[in-house]
Copies of this chain bind each other. A is one copy, B any other.
Amino acid sequence: MKIENPNISTEVKIKEAARRIFLEKGFAGCSSRDIAAEAGVNVALVNYYFRSKERLFDLIFKDEFDNFFSTMVETFSSDQLNLKEKLKIFISHEIDFLCKHPDLPQFLLTELKRCDDNSTEHSDKFSKISSTGVFAEFQQAQADGKIREIDLLSLSLLVMSNCHYPFLGRGMIMSIHQINEDQFLAHMEKHKEYVSEMLINYLFINNENK
């Protein structure tokens, strides 16, 4: 008898507890018992619902990875916007998103490094970015003389650096500048404008601002 109980709260409780713990401490930095304690359930239930710590982790990693890249790809997929608007909105959306998930960048980078199965495992996710056509769009704009001559690698790096780094280095930054998490997140509103202005000024050749 298969009982389709809506009482899946234990499974969800464990998964959400694991999400919090994994994002904060990383896979190697926590134990199954940490997760069970956070969820307020018996240790055995972690394996009862998810078979192993690793399978539970993989589930959450995939979740967060997809979520992260969906957010990145979202704006680029629009047909309605020109490149400059896409970049502006991308920067704004990306920083907004990361303000709500400040631990995500470090989590993804750390665990990507740990697994190290970079070749074919996640490359289809990565290719979603190029399949939005945004790279081709940039190259066309370069051919048209609308944006500066710059390779796609450095272009990606400049954009990602300024959107993602604040959330990677925020611990250090907060220490140096003696501010707390809330002050830092509040500051990101201002920072969005600086990043947007700087990148657009640098990349786009015909500067009609705003």
Contacts and interface: CB of A to CB of B under 8 A. Distances in A.
Nearest to A194: B154
A76 to B, nearest CB: 13
Interface string A166-178: 1011011111111
- The copy count of this chain in the complex is 2
Contacts of A195: 158
Closest 6 CB pairs of A and B: A161-B165, A165-B165, A28-B29, A198-B202, A28-B28, A118-B175
18 contacts: A106-B110, A118-B175, A126-B175, A150-B194, A153-B173, A153-B177, A153-B179, A154-B190, A154-B191, A156-B177, A157-B169, A158-B162, A161-B162, A161-B169, A162-B165, A164-B168, A201-B201, A202-B202
Contacts of A154: 187, 190-191, 194
Given A157-B191, A195-B158, A108 B172 contact: yes
Contacts of A190: 151, 154
Contacts of A171: 109, 112-113, 118
B106 A176 contact: no
A180 to B, nearest CB: 10
Contacts of A198: 158, 198-199, 202
Given A26-B110, A157-B191, A197-B202, 7 more contacts: A109-B168, A109-B169, A112-B172, A118-B171, A156-B173, A156-B177, A202-B202
Contacts of A161: 161-162, 165-166, 169
Contacts of A123: 175, 178
Contacts of A112: 171-172, 175
